[in-house]
Amino acid sequence: MSLTWRAVTRDDVPAVVAFTNLVGQRDGTGEVTTEQAVLEMFEAPRFDVATDVFTVWEGAELLGLGSVFCRDTLVDGRAMVSVEGAVHPDRRGRGLGSELLSRLETRALAMAAERFPGDPVRLRTSGGLPDSSAQRLLEDRGYRADNYFITMQVQLADWVDRGEEITTVRPDAEQLRATRDAHNDAFRDHRNFSPIPEDHWDFWGKSSTQRPEQSRVVVEGDRVLAYAIVGENEPGVSHVELVGTRREARGRGLARQVL
């Protein structure tokens, strides 16, 4: 049966969810999603699913999925564009990953040229776990490891409250909005960081996976000094999506308090 490359539609959402969760499980990355979270993608600011998402099908079976996202500001003088994609674990080794990456790169360069004409471009993607098929493909195409991420977890059944005095509060809507300014300040000198625009922050904050009731902030007046923002993509697993402290408030143990 021949392959069909096309944009994603809302009718594809169940297949996208099943594909994403299967890849996360088989590749060991732990990535999971839900139908509601995928549907929300269709409304993301400055992201057009008709041009920025790629799928490849064999009949009704989704074999590959990828997307392109461009930062809103230059990072170290370059347009930074993320290209993310995966191929069904049982259909690898047929050149689909290479073709998908080529299509993503072509769109990424076009997007960068539209938004930052004449500026140099930097492509960025996840290489998966060490020695993954994704890492090998990317290295063959000239990509090199830039930095590494470590995932840490704790079983709450085993966690013991240290009994420390804390000054954190559950953030209300206004404090959540103010957290964007705190985050942009806390990470302004962080490698590869660019400020999060207000519309992206509001969109992300309204996501079905966000858990403000589990999040905590430290405030002083109307300013957020430290924050831990929690999401829940997988039932029963709380993910600390953002944690940080304003530069002026560092050294006071506030990040430990919000955690």
Q: What share of the chain is helix, strand, coil (3-state, %, to 5)?
A: 35, 25, 40
What pLDDT, on a 0 to 100 scale, did the predictor assign at position 254? 96
What pLDDT, on a 0 to 100 scale, did the predictor assign at position 132? 93
Q: Looking at this protein, which amino acid is placed at residue 64?
A: G
pTM for the full predicted model = 0.92
What pLDDT, on a 0 to 100 scale, did the predictor assign at position 1? 65
What is the fold of 156-258?
Aminopeptidase (3.40.630)
What is the fold of 3-140?
Aminopeptidase (3.40.630)
The widest CA-to-CA distance across the chain, in whole angstroms, is: 64
Distance CA 128, CA 88 (A): 14
Token output for 98: 């290479």
- Which residues in the chain are classed under CATH 3.40.630.30? 3-140, 156-258
What pLDDT, on a 0 to 100 scale, did the predictor assign at position 164? 80
pLDDT in tens, 205-223: 999 999 999 999 999 998 9
Token output for 11: 């009718």
Helices (H), the chain: 13-27, 35-41, 49-52, 96-115, 133-140, 173-186, 198-205, 254-258
What pLDDT, on a 0 to 100 scale, did the predictor assign at position 245? 98
**What is the mean pLDDT, run by run of 10 residues, along the chain of 259 residues?**
94 98 95 96 97 97 98 96 98 96 98 98 95 95 92 88 87 97 96 95 96 97 96 92 97 94
Token output for 108: 């990424």
90's CB contacts (< 8 A; 6+ apart) are none
What pLDDT, on a 0 to 100 scale, did the predictor assign at position 89? 97
What pLDDT, on a 0 to 100 scale, did the predictor assign at position 166? 85
What pLDDT, on a 0 to 100 scale, did the predictor assign at position 107? 99
Phi, psi of 83 (to 5 degrees): -120, 120
